[in-house]
């Protein structure tokens, strides 16, 4: 996405209107579809020929394209890359850990309880690619007020496992590799002497 500069739209004359045309990714379509919208009535010169679009018409056309969010990185990631939310991936993760052959987890009720009570309300709607040390830190701060140090660390482990569970189908490697940093998130230190 960093190489994509975005569209400004092309202003054309259609009938008695200046119209802006652009292409946009739409969910359910593999290819971009053509969009167009009226910008302003056409201005004619003395001989009856349409004048080229003015700077104001071009500016309005760019504003229409921007409002359509055709250039939005978030929209591109969601529609084109099929970016999934943390919530969606957590559901897939829970199904996977119960049905996998290697060390399946029979009872996921503790994981589900952590997700439902603490994690999903705070970061569930975030795109999985946006779940990292900085976005998890406010959740850690909130959990530290009510939960033990060991529990907070365990819940952050669940978050890391959900993020790592989205794999590239070709290589089998995580799509969003993360280097989780306890100091950035300000995770509490677990004191082994206080553990039961």
Question: Does one domain contain both 133 and 116?
Answer: yes
- 196 residues of the chain, pLDDT tens digit each: 444 567 888 999 998 999 999 888 766 566 778 889 999 999 999 999 999 999 999 999 999 988 887 777 666 655 555 578 899 999 999 999 999 999 999 899 999 999 999 999 999 999 888 899 999 999 999 999 999 999 999 999 999 999 999 887 778 888 888 999 999 999 999 887 766 6
Last residue of a domain, one of 79, 103, 130: 79
Question: Does one domain contain both 96 and 190?
Answer: yes
Q: Is 4 domain-assigned?
A: no
Question: Does one domain contain both 143 and 190?
Answer: yes
Q: Is 18 domain-assigned?
A: yes
Question: Does one domain contain both 105 and 73?
Answer: no
How big is the chain, counted in residues?
196
Candidates 53, 44, 49; CA nearest to 19 is 53
Rounded (10°) CA dihedral 99, 165, 180, 103:
20
Domain range enclosing 150: 86-194
Question: Does one domain contain both 37 and 127?
Answer: no
Q: Is 119 domain-assigned?
A: yes
What residues form DSSP beta bridges with 24? 33
Question: Does one domain contain both 65 and 120?
Answer: no
Q: Is 14 domain-assigned?
A: yes
Question: Does one domain contain both 71 and 154?
Answer: no
Q: What's the predicted TM-score (pTM) here?
A: 0.60
Looking at residue 74, what is its pLDDT?
64
Q: Is 74 domain-assigned?
A: yes
Question: Does one domain contain both 56 and 143?
Answer: no
Last residue of a domain, one of 29, 64, 79: 79
- Tell me how many domains the chain contains: 2
Q: Is 126 domain-assigned?
A: yes
Residues 6+ apart with CB under 8 A from 19: 11, 12, 13, 36, 37, 38, 39
Q: How far apart are CA 102 and CA 4, in angstroms?
A: 41
Question: Does one domain contain both 21 and 102?
Answer: no
Looking at residue 1, what is its pLDDT?
44
Question: Does one domain contain both 148 and 189?
Answer: yes
């Amino acid at each position: 996405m960093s190489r994509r500069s975005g569209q400004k739209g092309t202003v054309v004359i259609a009938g008695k209107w200046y119209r802006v045309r652009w292409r946009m990714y739409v969910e359910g379509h593999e290819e971009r579809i053509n969009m167009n919208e009226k910008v302003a009535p056409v201005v004619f010169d003395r001989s009856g020929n349409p004048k080229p679009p003015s700077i104001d018409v071009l500016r309005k056309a760019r504003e229409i394209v921007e409002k359509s969010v055709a250039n939005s990185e978030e929209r591109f990631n969601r529609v084109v890359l099929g970016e999934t939310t943390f919530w969606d991936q957590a559901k897939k993760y829970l199904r996977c850990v119960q049905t996998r052959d290697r060390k399946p987890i029979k009872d996921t009720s503790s994981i589900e309880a952590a997700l439902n009570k603490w994690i999903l309300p705070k970061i569930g709607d975030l795109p999985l690619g946006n779940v990292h040390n900085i976005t998890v830190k406010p959740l850690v701060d909130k959990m530290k007020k009510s939960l033990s140090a060991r529990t907070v660390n365990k819940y952050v482990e669940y978050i890391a496992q959900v993020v790592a569970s989205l794999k590239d189908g070709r290589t089998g490697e995580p799509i969003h590799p993360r280097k989780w940093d306890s100091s950035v998130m300000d995770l509490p230190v677990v004191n082994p002497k206080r553990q039961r």
